[in-house]
């Protein structure tokens, strides 16, 4: 099968590695190819035997399967950029964490151009599972796409033949998961400032004995420091999902702001340089909390 990956970030590269291991022909395009970050992407593509395209249209032209794995805000623009060149009958798997409304708009663009749009909702972190990450499919072509995706190593499950159901499941889950990340960073950093972190952790352990809060805290800090920009965009789509049903997304909106704030600090180098061993790799969340406090604490 000829496959096109739109987005060659962490997710795109993982998919490329696993698909190439099966001998699939893979082309990829990422807007970052034009910048300094493109050097690493080109090196990875060369090592994996992935063909890098010059544009969205160049990547998808002739592909039987297109996988869109970009930031949430780009889900609809990417569909618009791919639509003019998409092959008739090609599957367009939208991996993006976008709201049901955004998925429906993207589907309209692909379907009008003769492609077959399939909504995808990734239900947990991709790196541990790689291509086998739990994946909910939605839309009228989901049932037809599922066997083909499974043959490629994906782990799909059809959620509904209606667009929006799979993404709503993912988005509503993210209210909790991404919100918990933001709350842990805020709670643990404030507790550290007041010198009460041990008491707070002990209380949390008593209330939620099934969670290792030390380990979970370190993981949450690391993930937000490293991926806060992408997460903040996703949670803005989460907020839009809540807003689409008439509910004011106070929690999701606050989560998006906290995730973006941490991403800004990371971009400013507070946690070390990207790509070095010191960036977002501490096993103790206190190290990262102390860096934040040194930046924001008065006096």
- Segment 116-131 shows an average pLDDT of 94
Tell me: the pLDDT tens digits for 157-167? 999 999 999 99
Domains of the chain: 2-163 (3.40.50.720), 171-296 (1.10.1040.10)
Position 128 pLDDT exceeds 70: yes
Band of pLDDT at residue 251, cut at 50, 70 and 90: very high
pLDDT for 299 equals: 66
Determine contact, residues 15/69, Cβ cutoff 8 Å.
yes
* Crossing angle of helices 213-244 and 165-194, rounded to 10°: 130
Q: How confident is the model at residue 193 (pLDDT cuts 50, 70, 90)?
A: very high
- 178 pLDDT above the threshold of 70: yes
- What's the token pair of residue 111? 């379907």
Q: What is the pTM of this model?
A: 0.85
Q: What angle do CA 10, 16, 17 make, to 5 degrees?
A: 95
Using the predicted structure, report yes or no on whether residue 75 has a pLDDT greater than 80.
yes
Using a pLDDT cut of 90, give the percent of the chain over it: 89
Q: Please give the mean pLDDT across all residues of the chain.
A: 94
Q: What is the pLDDT of residue 36?
A: 82
Q: What are the φ/ψ torsions at residue 274 (nearest 5 degrees)?
A: -60, 140
Tokens of 171: 């988005």
Judged against a pLDDT cut of 50, whether residue 276 lies above it is answered with no
Percent of the chain with pLDDT over 70: 97
What is residue 277's predicted lDDT score, i.e. its pLDDT? 45
Nearest to 106 by CA among 89, 83, 138: 83
Quote the pLDDT of residue 279: 59
């Amino acid at each position: 099968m000829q496959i096109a990956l739109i987005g060659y970030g962490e997710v795109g590269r993982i998919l490329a590695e696993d698909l190439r291991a099966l001998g699939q022909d893979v082309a990829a395009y990422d807007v970052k190819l034009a910048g300094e970050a493109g050097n690493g992407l080109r090196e990875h593509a060369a090592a994996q035997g992935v063909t890098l395209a010059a544009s969205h249209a160049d990547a998808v032209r002739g592909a039987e399967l297109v996988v869109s794995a970009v930031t949430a805000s780009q889900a609809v623009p990417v569909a618009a950029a791919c639509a003019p060149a998409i092959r008739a009958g090609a599957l367009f798997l939208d991996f993006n964490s976008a709201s049901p409304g955004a998925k429906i708009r993207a589907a309209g663009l692909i379907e009008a151009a003769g492609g077959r749009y399939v909504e995808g909702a990734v239900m947990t972190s991709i790196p541990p599972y790689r291509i086998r990450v739990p994946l909910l499919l939605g839309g009228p072509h989901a049932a037809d796409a599922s066997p083909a995706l499974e043959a490629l190593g994906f782990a799909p499950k059809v959620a509904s033949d209606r667009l929006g159901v799979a993404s709503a499941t993912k988005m509503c889950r993210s209210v909790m998961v991404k919100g918990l990340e933001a709350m842990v960073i805020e709670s643990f950093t404030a507790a550290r400032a007041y010198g009460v972190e041990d008491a707070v952790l002990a209380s949390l352990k008593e209330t939620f004995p099934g969670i290792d809060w030390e380990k979970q805290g370190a993981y949450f800090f690391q993930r937000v420091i490293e991926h806060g920009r992408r997460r903040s965009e996703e949670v803005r789509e989460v907020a839009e999902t809540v807003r689409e049903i008439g509910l004011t997304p106070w929690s999701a909106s606050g989560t998006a702001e906290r995730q973006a704030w941490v991403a800004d600090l990371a971009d400013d180098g507070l946690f070390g340089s990207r790509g070095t061993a010191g960036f977002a790799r501490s096993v103790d969340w206190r190290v990262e909390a102390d860096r934040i406090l040194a930046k924001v604490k008065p006096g």
